[in-house]
């Protein structure tokens, strides 16, 4: 098979995978009527508030970043109505598109680091990923977008762009990530900072990309979280030191049995693929990606089991971050 024929076959596969995931997501969001649950309705309520107030305001959960709701509000303004039937249809298409972005970003990253075969496997696993479909019903749509941004940032980091172009893209996507989801930002920083420092020791050129991420994230934090901390410091302190203890009741959701139940056969296929991944990286002379992939798996796994070390965190939420690597 010639190079052109391989490219055409790959393009057909990607189009089929994208179309399949898009249709499955729309179908899943339509199973329970207008909306798949109460949380999606909350998203539409926040979006309607932005449209009516003609701007973003701090909500009852003030540290929840506004980018997803603001983007949805812009789409509703283009549509010209906030009618619940129309808004729910727009929400379905937006969430399906975000799910597709997760598939494409992980596909591009896998293709860049591991080759076409691994990229195809990653696309299939994304379509079969149970945690991603579970997020549809409890309204984790900003989390969806955060997962797509994280994979996209790691792809850009490993792509041979001109330094100025890479720095600009990293700045832009990191800025969007921080304003999309606070938990995704937290996980990303714990993965990115050590992985980047390990991979860029003695490299001044790559240091510029690190500064772009820091600048993008820093500006987003200044734009949203700085005023939140100043205005709602008492709420923040109460949440961190007192309300977080309630997460001990979610410990059973991160047991081994729960992992098997959530991921199903994909869990065992993914575990079997880990050593193969490192073999492929070595063959492709991309061993510099070792720290990134190890941390991308280890950090969410550690956080989901952090109750063993006396930490109070939303343990089950970190399982979702294992869906992409």
pLDDT digits (tens, 9 = 90+) for 164-190: 777 788 888 888 888 888 888 888 888
Cα angle 288-290-291, degrees, rounded to a multiple of 5:
95
DSSP category for residue 287:
G
The distance from CA 208 to its chain's CA centroid, rounded to whole angstroms, is 24
Residue 215 to residue 195: CA distance in whole angstroms: 18
The structural domain count of the chain equals 1
Q: Are 247 and 315 in contact (CB under 8 A)?
A: yes
Using the 8-state DSSP alphabet, how is residue 224 labeled?
I
**Are the C-beta atoms of residues 144 and 317 closer than 8 Å to each other?**
no
Which residues are within 8 A (CB) of 104 and not within 5 positions of it... i.e. 6 or more apart?
14, 18
**What are all long-range contacts of 4-10, with beta carbons under 8 Å and residues at least 24 apart?**
6/116, 10/116, 10/120
Instruction: Give the global pTM.
Output: 0.82
Tokens for 3, please give them.
Answer: 């190079």
pLDDT in tens, the chain (325 residues): 677 777 788 788 889 988 998 988 888 888 777 677 677 777 777 888 888 777 776 654 555 777 888 888 888 888 877 777 888 888 888 888 888 888 888 888 888 877 777 788 888 878 877 667 777 777 777 887 888 888 888 888 777 777 777 778 888 888 888 888 888 888 888 887 777 777 665 555 666 666 666 676 666 666 666 666 666 555 555 555 555 666 666 667 667 777 766 666 666 676 776 777 777 777 777 666 677 778 878 888 888 777 777 777 776 777 777 766 5
Quick one: DSSP state of residue 251?
G
**Token pair for 303:** 């956080």
Neighbours of 80 (CB within 10 A): 8
Range of the domain at 215: 3-322
């Amino acid at each position: 098979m010639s190079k052109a024929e391989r490219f055409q076959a790959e393009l057909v596969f990607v189009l089929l995978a994208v179309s399949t995931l898009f249709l499955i997501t729309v179908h899943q969001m339509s199973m329970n009527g207008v909306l798949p649950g109460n949380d999606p309705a909350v998203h539409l309520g926040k979006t309607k508030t932005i449209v009516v107030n003609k701007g973003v305001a701090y909500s009852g959960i003030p540290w929840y970043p506004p980018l997803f709701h603001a983007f949805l509000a812009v789409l509703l303004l283009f549509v010209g109505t906030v009618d619940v039937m129309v808004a729910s249809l727009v929400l379905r298409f937006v969430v399906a598109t975000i799910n597709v972005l997760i598939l494409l970003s992980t596909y591009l990253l896998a293709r860049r680091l591991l080759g076409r075969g691994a990229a195809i496997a990653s696309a299939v696993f994304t379509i079969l990923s149970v945690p991603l479909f579970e997020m549809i019903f409890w309204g984790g749509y900003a989390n969806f977008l955060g997962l797509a941004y994280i994979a996209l940032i790691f792809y850009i980091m490993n792509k041979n762009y001109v330094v100025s172009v890479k720095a600009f893209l990293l700045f832009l996507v990191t800025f969007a990530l921080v304003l999309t989801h606070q938990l995704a930002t937290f996980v990303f920083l714990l993965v990115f900072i050590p992985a980047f420092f390990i991979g860029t020791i003695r490299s001044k050129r790559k240091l510029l990309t690190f500064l772009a991420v820091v600048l993008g994230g820093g500006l987003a934090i200044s734009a949203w979280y700085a005023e939140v901390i100043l205005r709602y410091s008492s709420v923040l302190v109460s949440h961190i030191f007192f309300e977080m203890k309630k997460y001990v009741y979610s410990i059973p959701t991160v047991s081994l049995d729960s992992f098997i139940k959530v991921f199903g056969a994909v869990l065992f296929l993914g575990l079997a693929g880990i050593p193969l991944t490192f073999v492929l990286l070595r063959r492709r002379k991309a061993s510099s990606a070792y720290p990134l992939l190890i941390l991308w798996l280890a950090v969410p796994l550690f956080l989901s089991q952090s109750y063993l070390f006396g930490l109070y965190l939303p343990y089950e939420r970190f399982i979702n971050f294992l869906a992409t690597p």
